[in-house]
Amino acid sequence: MKLVTAIVRPDRVGAIGAALERFGVNGLTVSQASGYGRQRGHTEVYRGAEYTSDLVPKTRLEVLVNEADLGGVMAAIAEGGRTGRFGDGKIWIIDVSDAVRVRTGERGAAAIA
């Protein structure tokens, strides 16, 4: 099993969710995040005053998948999240040794099906 984690633009979450749903993913964890990459923050104007923030708001997505589905899930996230501009995000993969569905006690692949 693999844990796919992606940091993406908040406004692309809907498109990514739709792409994952088309692929057949039926579970997704979404949380707010902030950080910076090459863009190093941003400047906004609010009521005539300019504000600079070193951290850019992002969204963190996590999906637990079987290894056979890994390529398709990564492609769906990239397809839904890509705008072609700096700040589109990153995807990384972590090995998961086991998972347990708390309600039933199922383990491994059965727990994430």
Q: Tell me: the pLDDT tens digits for 56-103?
A: 899 999 999 999 999 999 999 999 999 999 889 999 999 999 999 999
Residue 86 has what pLDDT?
Answer: 86
Report d(CA 96, CA 62) in Å as an integer: 13
Q: What is the mean pLDDT of the segment spanning 6-34?
A: 96
- Report whether pLDDT(17) > 80: yes
Report d(CA 58, CA 42) in Å as an integer: 13
Report d(CA 98, CA 6) in Å as an integer: 20
Q: Which domain holds residue 95?
A: 2-112
11 vs 50, residue with greater confidence: 11
Main-chain phi, psi angles of 27, to 5 degrees: -150, 135
Q: How confident is the model at residue 47 (pLDDT cuts 50, 70, 90)?
A: confident
Q: What is the mean pLDDT of the segment spanning 39-65?
A: 84
Report d(CA 66, CA 93) in Å as an integer: 12
Where residue 41 sits, what CATH number does that domain have?
Answer: 3.30.70.120
Report d(CA 79, CA 23) in Å as an integer: 12
Residue 97 has what pLDDT?
Answer: 97
Domain count, the chain: 1
